[in-house]
Chains A and B, each alone.
Chain A
Amino acid sequence: MAILSRRRFLQVGSVAGAGAALAAARGPAWDRFLGPAAAGDRIETVPTYCDLCFWKCGAIATKKNGRLWKLEGNPEDPLSRGRLCPRGTGGVGAHFDPDRLTAPLVRGKRRGEEAWVEVTWDEALERVAQGLAAIAAEHGPEAVAFFSHGIGGNFLKHTFRAFGTPNFVAPSYAQCRGPRDIGFQLTFGEEVGTPERTDIANARCLVLIGSHLGENMHNSQVQEFAEAIGAGASLIVVDPRHSVAASKAKHYLPIKPGTDIALLLAWMNVLVAEELYDRELVASHGFGFDAFRAEVAPWTPEWAYPITTIDPATIRETAREMARHRPATLVHPGRHVTWYGDDAQRSRAVALLDALLGSWGRRGGFYYPSSVPVPKYGGYPDYPRAARGPVDNPGGRYPFADLGLTNGIREATLTGEPYPIKSWFVYATNLLQAMPNQEETIRAIQRLDLLVVVDTHPSEIAGWADVVLPECSYLERYDDLNTEPFREPFVSLRQPVVEPPTDQKPNWWIARELAVKLGLERYYPWREVEEYLEARLAGAGLSLAEMKRRGVFRGAPAPLYFDDGVPMEFPTPTGKIEFWSPQLAAAGFDPVPRFRPHEEPPPGYFRLLSGRAPVHTFARTQTNPILAEAMPENEVWVNADVARRLGLTAGARVRLRNQDGVVSAPVPVKATERIRTDCVYMVHGFGHTAPGLRRALGKGASDAQLMTRYAVDPLMGATGTNVNFVTFEEA
């Protein structure tokens, strides 16, 4: 049967707009078993966009008699195409979650002791403003660092730019996608971006390296992944774990963890040696190919075999398979790529493989995304110039870092060098679960004069704060417009669907009120966020009233591929695809990636790997009653033979002890054939210890807690965390 047609959708919208009942006439007998809405129920719909992850899918919320009932995809939205992912569908629970923060809190006792006093918003913001002002007076405004995740941080960032700090960071860079974007920039001169510009739907051959689409639930990508499978695309999956994606693969390569660069080099070796690469592209737009050819010449499949444990015949066969389908062969760049500390070089190897296959700018490879040009808000005064530059990357120690490093801020906070950091203002990111080495984070926090956390939940990081400010859930607030470049240009609006349950406030209100208290009111010429949104939308010829009705506006499609007229330009220093990188050579790094072995787990230990589950986002959704029911805790995946040998019973609880003696909470064993014998795997985000997260407390174990070691990427400063080893202990 067809999905709700557009005509029908508009009818629903208009009925809802009139506030009339939608329920069709039904015989009374049906009501006994029919369903959730009865005749006479007042049904209303409100379009908005999701915040269960950064993908920001367009959604339609349905209310029954004023109460939130369900969330569905907005058929007009190119990201969701009318279908939310399980997290987005379960976003209903974000509103009803009984573990939410309800009122502003100030710390009663010492940091970390979780003794709180409820205060009014005025008192809480006054305290924050006074603290910030005192720090600025003594150390300068640069002594304040702002951490955030997601679009909800936009207005607070504005306040802190006006305040005068240059220190803005997000774990989404140095703990997640940063190395990938640098690897691709160094090669093609452009990033992969968010949402990724991967043309999965049209790929004839899709290569996933550690990327577990289907478990990693970025909506459009998973939709396209299923389309590609349905269309018979050839799937090659490289993963130490037999992921869901691996179960659909034509070729599954159960690689030894930490050896992906060797496999990538061997693949490139085959493509070059057998002249299977895009020779035309390399000739016209490649730089340094001869040097590159010489570099990869020794890295044969036979060389890679003992390193990767993938047999040479399979390496050759899969390389040829990729070449057969090029340029519609997509070697997916992944997203969470902070694994071993050489991640920017591994990502560059992925980019080089894509370059050989000619998939950049080609159908079935990487398309050129576009966005609706919505001008920035025009009425703001200029920001003050910070007296000192960002503190996180002193002297350009990581020469290719192009965004702030959370770990750099943490280090500067600990050392006071190059200048002291005295306050962290943390928006919607649980740094104790997002960053490796919790002890370092806590030591840094102890050096702060002021830690402020804005969040919906009493997370672990909130537990260390001096002031906690409870934010509305995304279903109860406006946010900035979503204009991310995508396959089809669009603008979408987040708007309140329901009232916040208690005294939670939207981030824009918090940002504005704080600015007022800091004497920065001139940076907020608007009083209500609707004025801001209206002004921005007017600049694009749109109106807020129209956006409130439709949720999404789609712009005119732009060319996606070189073949459609996208100019074939590569904004690298040489203006070409850099097979041999002069930039890397000049900075003293390998101009073509090389494989260097990583430390092996000691006897009796297993490499700890982690990943995603489709029903949870990071460490942010474990108390959502609907999502928690779908997956209440994580498990530790252990190879079935290993489990048998160690006497681990499936379902029994164990603790994990890492190489530094850190011991996890009890976690159930998943004894499975679906993983190698030299590693174990956990879904990230569980093992919460914050007492306010009542539903999640004591459920599963935290991978972040066990990641005491991290390998810093010398190119750009990201923290690779697949360098930790664990063994088992009785629970």
Chain B
Amino acid sequence: MARFGMVIDTLRCVGCMDCVVACKTENEVPEGFCRDWITTEVRGKFPTLTTEIRSERCNHCDRPPCVTCCPTGASHVEDFGRLVLVDRELCIGCKACLASCPYDARFIHPEGYADKCTFCVHRVREGKDPACVAVCPTRCMHFGDLDDPRSEVAKLLASRRHHALLPEAGTRPRIHFLT
């Protein structure tokens, strides 16, 4: 079974927020919330600066603390693509997962359940890319099976320098940033 992840090229990303806007419309994310966001990190002193712009979201971790801490089993690892998903019917909105997530990727939907990025599983199951990947005008985002060495994501990771967020949290995040 596939293990879906993302590889995002920070050299191409311009931080335009198209990923954020596309996610909002595609997934009808309610006003005031978002499932993905842009982080801009600037280091140095003018004019010698280094900047990294990242499109961030749930990392669909290999070791997801949100799943371990969920009292009802709503947060779970789906067989399909090893995606970390929330079953709305089982979720009681206790926020344990919000507290456990080192990436602050979750929020409580106004309808009362924990919500977050699904990697657009509804699109992926139809053979499409997640909305954020499909919309990106810089084509800096790539989605695919990290375990398949022939996949674009695996090839990019094999050929380019990259890092993930908060590796020290031990969650084994599945979103990798090319630098």
A residues lining the B interface (CB < 8 Å)? 1, 3-4, 8, 24, 26, 29-30, 32-37, 69-73, 82-86, 89-90, 92, 213-215, 217, 219, 222-223, 225-227, 229-230, 242, 244-245, 247-248, 252, 254, 614-615, 625-627, 629-631, 639-640, 672-676
Min CB–CB distance B145 → chain A (angstroms): 9
**How far apart are the CA atoms of A85 and B26 in the complex, in Å?**
15
Q: Is the CB of A33 within 8 A of B47?
A: no
Q: Is B138 in contact with A223, judged by CB distance below 8 angstroms?
A: yes
Q: Taking the complex as formed, is B143 at the interface, i.e. its CB lies under 8 A from any CB of chain A?
A: yes
If over half of A's interface residues share one DSSP class (helix, strand or loop), that class is named, otherwise mixed; here it is mixed
A-B contact pairs, 21 of them (CB 8 A): A24-B125, A30-B122, A33-B87, A34-B121, A35-B123, A37-B122, A70-B25, A73-B135, A83-B134, A83-B139, A84-B137, A90-B25, A222-B16, A230-B9, A230-B139, A242-B46, A244-B14, A247-B50, A615-B16, A627-B21, A676-B47
A1-B129, A3-B129, A242-B49 given; A89·B138 CB < 8 A = no
Report the Cα distance A90→B21, complex, angstroms. 6
Given contacts A629-B24, A629-B32, A673-B42, contact A32 B11 (CB under 8 A): no
Interface-central residue, A82, A223, A227, A673, by most chain B CB under 10 Å:
A673
Which residues of the partner chain A approach B88 to less than 8 Å between Cβ atoms?
32-33
* Identity of the chain B residue whose Cβ is nearest the Cβ of A252 in the assembled complex: B47
Interface string of B18-54 (1 = CB under 8 A from A): 1011101111100110100000001011110111010
Question: Is there a chain A Cβ closer than 8 Å to B58's Cβ?
Answer: no
A86–B14 contact, CB under 8 A? no
Interface centre among B21, B26, B123 (most CB of A within 10 A): B21
Q: Which single residue of chain A is at the shortest CB-CB distance from B128?
A: A4
Chain B residue at smallest Cβ distance from A29: B87
Task: Report how far A675 CA is from B42 CA in the complex, Å.
Answer: 12
What residues of chain B have their CB less than 8 Å away from a CB belonging to chain A? 9, 11-12, 14-18, 20-22, 24-28, 31-32, 34, 42, 44-47, 49-51, 53, 85-90, 118, 120-129, 133-140, 143-144, 152
**Which residues of the partner chain A approach B127 to less than 8 Å between Cβ atoms?**
1, 8
Partner of A89, one of B22, B46, B87: B22
Bound form: Cα–Cα A615–B38 in Å:
13
Task: Give bound CA distance, A223 to B136, whole Å.
Answer: 9
Contacts A35-B120, A615-B21, A673-B44 known; list 17 others, CB within 8 Å: A24-B125, A29-B87, A32-B87, A32-B89, A84-B135, A92-B25, A230-B139, A242-B42, A242-B49, A244-B51, A247-B49, A247-B51, A254-B47, A615-B17, A626-B21, A626-B25, A673-B45
Interface contact B28-A36, CB-CB below 8 Å: yes
A652 → B minimal CB distance (Å): 20
* Residues in A whose Cβ lies below 8 Å from that of B85: 33
Q: Which residue of A lies closest to B19 (CB)?
A: A86
User: Which of B122, B134, B138 has a CB less than 8 Å from the CB of A3?
Assistant: B134
